[in-house]
Structure 1
């Protein structure tokens, strides 16, 4: 039996799944209605948009660091 269900595989859903796994929760499932992960960033386009904050403020602290 699954103990945790995460709805959506956007930024927040994936972060929740990673943190839960890091906390020892193995029986979780992520539901996504679309064909791929990404949430709103996959579904929408933002012509001319730019990042308005330093990237370290809008990144996952547990993501692998680039060399």
Structure 2
């Protein structure tokens, strides 16, 4: 089965670091984060940015479905 959502998942930060979308957001050790794998690279996003990213993606998918 084909899917456009292939490499997106939740994981837990093993160390503190900055969010890929907004460097002002810190992901603390032990925090849940959104992991997006693009080829060999992984990008990690804080929960605040993850919500925005997922809502925008859902909106785009719903628009595409509506165009069917």
Larger radius of gyration: 1
Per the TM superposition, whether the score is higher than 0.5 is no
Q: TM-score, normalised by structure 2?
A: 0.26
User: Comparing both chains, which one has the higher relative contact order based on Cα–Cα distances under 8 Å and sequence gaps of 6 or more?
Assistant: 1
Q: TM-score, normalised by structure 1?
A: 0.26
